[in-house]
Structure 1
Amino acid sequence: MLAACSSDEGIGGLDFGFGNGESQAPADLRTTIPYEVELTGIDDHEEQLIEALNAVSTARRLQSRPTASRAGLQRRAEDDVERFQAVLRSNGFYDGQITFEITEKTGDDAPVEENGNPAGSENNENDDVTANDTVNGTASQDTVDEADHRDNGANGDNGNNGENGDGAPTPLVLTYMIDTGAPYLIASVDLVIVRPDEVVERPATDAELERTRLQIGQRATAEPIILGEQFGVDILRDQGYPLVKATKRTVMADTAQKTISIKYAFETGPKANFGAVTVNGADEVDQDFIAGYRSWRAGEQYSPERVRETRRDLAQTNLFDSVIVKVAGPVGESGEIPVEINVVERKMRSIGGGVDFSTADGPGANAFWEHRNLFGAGERLRLGADASSLEQGLSAEFKKPQFLQRKQALVAEANAKNNDTDAYQGATVDSFVGVERPLGENWSTTLGVTAEYSDLTGSDSPNEEFYLAGLRGILRHDNTDNPLDPTRGTRFEINVSPYMGLTDHDTNFTSVSLSGSQYLSIDDDGDYVLAARARTGTIIGEERGNLPSNKRYYSGGGGSIRGYEYQKVGPLDDDHDPLGGRSVLELGFEFRARVTESFGVVPFVEGGNVYARSEPEDISLLWAAGLGFRYYTAVGPLRFDVAVPLDKRENVDDDYQFYISLGQAF
């Protein structure tokens, strides 16, 4: 049995220390011998192995504090032999051989062997370490007693440290010769499972090997072998054993075949079902409301995935700074195990705001006040105000989680705005009440009723009022990794909203829109991202002149096609004011490059158009291009974009537009 894989500490248990914490005065350079350290014999492709050896080397770490004699350097080298042996075994090389030599460094940097023999072979009967040796993870003392070294230099080393022409000691070269030998491979993985009523010993199945991330024939490195034991615990927990524990891991080496056999042992304890739920730490939030987030039914078999899901859902409520969900106590006589939910509540109220500016939309500002636990059961109320040169308004949003069903929420919103754009002027009021619920992983839906009032004057519409009632159905998909700065994943949304007029002149139409975006990270860190988006929509049932101005499609500006003025892409009247349309198409592409930790550049191209008909005959697009700059903050990137219209229209479009805001464009 090889101890290199028999401890969870692995090589991490070695002392990389810096002595006992006592400061040491710099030694006189004329009483110490500077030296260099070299590693030879290792394949250049073994980069991780070389890095690990250098990391544990005492001689490397104390190179800036040279010893007073060759004997002191030899002690450091002997200490490294044991450390290196542990590293080799942790990387699957169980037959590794390590020797070293100390030579003087000549003027042309060529080392000269001293006395014709490797220094590592003198006065050391234990330098040769074989595959049967045990490395227990305990390092020898790696700080050097300088007084002892000076004595060794005077007596054991004949007082001759070597000097160059100016009286300073001649530098030394410590060279480790490392023969890794052939790597050992995993030959078998067996399980010993001790249940309350039986003991089962068998080979791991292919599915279990996949879960433990081990393969027959892979190199027998320590880390995956150690982690495989924890994965084995997870497998048994998934089978309904909440109290399972690993007992003994045995790793046997076959030196003839160069293979490793692994045997994991587990005690499962009794199988259990979920029992009573206790909530601790709740003060303002109702305990029954918290317990209602449990993702299991009463009496259901224990599952760690259900526990993780409950913790994740509670953490996403933004009500708590900390959430811990765990089993508590032994399995009862009824076969049930109690569960504890421990929470630390956060502040329930917050205020905030922001500003933005663009040459197309003008300056803008917003502010909000939010309460996330209005009646004690996670009800969220958010009141907001927005103001810009184009629009001023008030808004209110309410959300009650766990409405009638788990994960289902009651949502309501209301908005009152005054509009003053080139397309229309006047007031609008709208409201919505519905339910929101997830539909599997990363999918959600919203369905409800809406009522709207508008009193607008548009370019081709009379000054009249509209009273509308309708339905709103939204299907969303979002698996991106960050809401403000996504680097991977996809977003998709389809919105279907039929409306009917409530006044004498019936206005009946249906608006359908689809939008989506895709994010592809070129590198592992997400510093270079390709991003693309698209939007299309159509209105069925009424001609453009019979539609309320605010229900038509518009395009152009910071949220659609940068480089063109707000709402100016599409049909225009004789005064170059937007008329809107019954269909729209938009495309956008960005390359997001994070040049430093704080700054990035984003070249982009966007195009689109608005059409008078619901099914346009000629799909022609107006294109724009630009360059953006990003300053990355803790809450998201600060955005500054400059764009120019590539299809500039005479007396309509400006030469350029720029935009300042928080978050990516999409």
Structure 2
Amino acid sequence: MVLSVCVGASVLSACSFTDNLPFGDGANSAATQDVRRAIPYSVTFQGLDPQEERLLAALRENSTAIRLKDRPTPTKAGLERRAEDDVTRFVRVLRSFGFYDAVVNYDIRDADTPPAEGETELSPEGDAISAKTASNGDNAKTDGDGPETPAKPADEKNQDEQAPDSPALESKAPPKPVVLQYRVDMGTPYLLSDAELTVIHPDESSETRSMSDEELKTAKLSIGMRAEADPIILAEQSVLDVFRNQGYPLVKAGKKHVLADTAEKTIRVTYEVITGKKATFGKINIVGAEDVDADFIRGYHSWDTGEVYSPQKVTETRRDLAESNLFNSVIVKPVGQVDDNGEIPIEMRVQERDHRSIGGGLDFSTADGPGANAFWEHRNLFGEGEKLRLKLEGSGLKQGASASFRKPQFLRRKQALVAESEATSYTTDAYEGELANAFTGIEREFWENWSATYGVTLEYSDLTGADSPNEEFYLGGLRGVLRHDNTDNPLDPTTGNRMELTISPYMSLAGAQTQFTSVSLDGSQYYAFDDKGYYVLAGRGRIGSIFGDERSSLPSNKRFYSGGGGSVRGYEYQTVGPLNEDGDPVGGRSVIEAGLELRARITDSIGLVPFVEGGNVYEAVKPKDFTLMWATGLGVRYYTAIGPVRFDFAVPMDKRENIDDDYQIYLSLGQAF
């Protein structure tokens, strides 16, 4: 391996065995093996501004001497070679930070020699860092393709391991430690005086102009900023994005010119942009479709026929396809050249995922006992993303089956046909009996993060309520739901908010007579105190009213109830609010709920959640007062890849004798809200 590397390297440069490899008289090899002969050293910097933390970190990262400090050289000459290599690297780093006149020198002194007066340690980690007032160095002029960026340190070479002088070999005492001190004269930082564009059109004509304020903002540049390399280099791609947004899909960068004015200490940068032809969206080619219909995939495009090319439209289409839950990967991009009609073809390349899944879950509470559910789902039933979900669930409160169907892209983009039905048997303190319902409607997305669902619902119920006789209701009605959701995670949100407004008018079609309209508003807000979302303040609220018939004329299941794991933890299910003489909940025509949690992770997988919640249900359509029944508690969260496992312990603060238990326990998947 060593031979092959050396031979390959000899093509580019001479391979010196004497200087670089431990071949020869054997002295170098012996010195390398005798660790006690290595010269220990520390590294300091003098002349750096203590406020330049990023610069200091970059210097340390690019320093060969610092990187190899734990493998010191046996000779001072080896240390000098490391220092000389660092000087070259440091000048590049300083120039990349806008210090084009910077000068770096070094010296090596015995560690016993006291540091220069005024030196101050800047970093307790690793090497001592010292600072002195910087002074101006000689001017330097730069005119090239762009600011220099520092190169990373190369791997250690054997050039540091030179044979020590004979006196060092004869001496039995270990070498004394030394200090490698870099003296940095930063000079005056150069500022960006102007940013220009040289635009080369398809006919090869060109124009040069200063960038507009909007273009500077997009490129994250500002006149007068320090002329650092990274912002200037990264701005080039942002400049290209400006032209892509104007309909030039094949725009590319030409040469970049950077000119330094050493007298004024300024930098002027000129970006060359080769626009290519302006284009409109053309033919859409589908690649990778198997079970999903290609025309259905093509229908996800967010642009109109003949519309000028827009990268935002491409991004929106890619996002919508990815959120369809049909594909493992999605790529949407222009391909080929702009044709004679001024159109550019678009390629949608997809990789399909498995479209069938089964699953289930378990939950438990002291009031409800254990519960379980299982489901089967097909997300591409007829080849155009139709989703059918069948579900079974059972607990001490209810047992039943449900089905839901959703056909996306129904008649138009971002619109779906939805249908759902259920048949459930209830056994609660509020009511017991049978219920069956069905709903068919349209789900429509509009604006960003907003959607609405509206349609027709039918319902049959045969329930015995706590304050109503056993009556059969045949209801027909409408359902309208307005939603807003910009949270970052459905099971464990850390930022954003949710809102859902539901309006449902009902009237009797047969059986017992009733007519009413139910209105409710639910909302939640999430605020993260840190970037990782390990500390989150979460709050929720709910209000609702039923207009129309009196409470006694309403079906038991259509009244408002509160209490339990999904509303006010600490009280049994549905028991917050008015009760009859037997202590059973009778529900009401209005409801208020509020809750607050502090979600704090103590490790990556374990979190604690103190919470407080309150709520009440009222007989009238408007609450007579705003007195709430409060509860508090502490939760534990175990965070998994599919969401947090929730364990909550809650106690009622307004406990009622012979009605409320001392505490309630809840176990389920996902946050409480």
TM-score by shorter chain over 0.5: yes
1:111 Cα offset (Å)? 6.0
Partners of 1:449 and 1:472 within 8 A in 2: yes
Equivalent runs, 1:19-38 vs 2, <5 Å? 27-38=33-44
1:245 Cα offset (Å)? 0.2
Q: Cα distance 1:142–1:129, how it changes in 2: closer, same or farther (>3 A)?
A: farther
* Matched position secondary structure for 1:553: coil
1:361 Cα offset (Å)? 2.6
1:96 alignment partner in structure 2? 102
1:10 alignment partner in structure 2? none
Partners of 1:361 and 1:389 within 8 A in 2: yes
d(CA) in 2 for partners of 1:528 and 1:231?
34
1:31 Cα offset (Å)? 2.6
d(CA) in 1 for partners of 2:499 and 2:513?
33
2:161 alignment partner in structure 1? 149
1:78 to 84, 90, 98: 84
d(CA) in 2 for partners of 1:547 and 1:385?
28
1:188 Cα offset (Å)? 0.7
Bigger mean CA deviation after superposition, 57-66 or 593-602: 593-602
2:277 alignment partner in structure 1? 270
2:451 paired with 1:453 = no
1:131 to 115, 140, 155: 140
2:561 paired with 1:580 = no
2:489 paired with 1:482 = yes
- Identity among equivalent positions (%) equals 59
2:519 paired with 1:507 = no
Q: Cα distance 1:565–1:268, how it changes in 2: closer, same or farther (>3 A)?
A: same
1:526 to 533, 556, 571: 533
1:8 alignment partner in structure 2? none
d(CA) in 2 for partners of 1:632 and 1:46?
39
d(CA) in 2 for partners of 1:399 and 1:545?
36
1:434 to 421, 441, 452: 441
Q: Cα distance 1:657–1:131, how it changes in 2: closer, same or farther (>3 A)?
A: farther
1:27 Cα offset (Å)? 3.8
* Matched position secondary structure for 1:562: coil
1:663 alignment partner in structure 2? 670
**Structure 2: stretches of 5+ with no match in the other structure:** 1-19, 22-28, 118-136
Q: Cα distance 1:149–1:619, how it changes in 2: closer, same or farther (>3 A)?
A: closer
4+ runs of 1 displaced by more than 6 Å?
A: none
2:55 to 37, 49, 55: 49
* Matched position secondary structure for 2:162: helix
d(CA) in 1 for partners of 2:475 and 2:152?
79
1:329 alignment partner in structure 2? 336
d(CA) in 2 for partners of 1:485 and 1:618?
34
The letter of the residue matching 2:140 is A
1:658 Cα offset (Å)? 1.6
Partners of 1:361 and 1:558 within 8 A in 2: no
2:611 paired with 1:604 = yes
2:179 paired with 1:173 = yes
1:386 Cα offset (Å)? 1.0
2:46 to 33, 40, 45: 40
2:395 to 388, 397, 404: 388
For 1:365-389, what per-residue CA distance to the aligned partner results, in whole angstroms no more than 9, with x for missing partners?
Answer: 1111111100000000111111111
d(CA) in 2 for partners of 1:509 and 1:112?
87
Partners of 2:473 and 2:512 within 8 A in 1: no
* Matched position secondary structure for 1:284: coil
Partners of 2:474 and 2:511 within 8 A in 1: no
1:123 alignment partner in structure 2? none
d(CA) in 1 for partners of 2:223 and 2:167?
56
1:317 to 297, 313, 324: 324
For 1:85-111, what per-residue CA distance to the aligned partner results, in whole angstroms no more than 9, with x for missing partners?
Answer: 1111222221222111112223xx846
Partners of 2:293 and 2:383 within 8 A in 1: yes
* Matched position secondary structure for 1:502: strand
d(CA) in 2 for partners of 1:549 and 1:227?
64
With normalisation by structure 2, the TM-score equals: 0.89
Q: Cα distance 1:131–1:634, how it changes in 2: closer, same or farther (>3 A)?
A: farther
With normalisation by structure 1, the TM-score equals: 0.90
1:112 Cα offset (Å)? 9.9
Partners of 1:561 and 1:606 within 8 A in 2: yes
2:579 paired with 1:567 = no
d(CA) in 2 for partners of 1:387 and 1:542?
32
1:218 alignment partner in structure 2? 225
Partners of 1:104 and 1:112 within 8 A in 2: no
For 1:437-481, what per-residue CA distance to the aligned partner results, in whole angstroms no more than 9, with x for missing partners?
Answer: 111101000010001111111110101111111000000011111
Backbone CA RMSD of aligned residues: 2.2
Partners of 2:578 and 2:586 within 8 A in 1: yes
**Structure 1: stretches of 5+ with no match in the other structure:** 1-18, 114-127
The letter of the residue matching 1:69 is T
For 1:296-346, what per-residue CA distance to the aligned partner results, in whole angstroms no more than 9, with x for missing partners?
Answer: 111111111111111110000111111111111111111111111111111
Q: Cα distance 1:136–1:396, how it changes in 2: closer, same or farther (>3 A)?
A: closer
Bigger mean CA deviation after superposition, 131-140 or 411-420: 131-140
Equivalent runs, 1:620-659 vs 2, <5 Å? 620-659=627-666
d(CA) in 1 for partners of 2:169 and 2:420?
85
The letter of the residue matching 1:518 is Q
* Matched position secondary structure for 1:150: coil
1:665 Cα offset (Å)? 0.9
d(CA) in 2 for partners of 1:434 and 1:485?
29
d(CA) in 2 for partners of 1:292 and 1:479?
25
1:506 Cα offset (Å)? 2.4
d(CA) in 1 for partners of 2:610 and 2:416?
40
Partners of 1:40 and 1:177 within 8 A in 2: yes
For 1:263-309, what per-residue CA distance to the aligned partner results, in whole angstroms no more than 9, with x for missing partners?
Answer: 11100001011111110100100000000111111111111111111
Partners of 1:476 and 1:492 within 8 A in 2: yes
2:548 to 537, 541, 547: 541
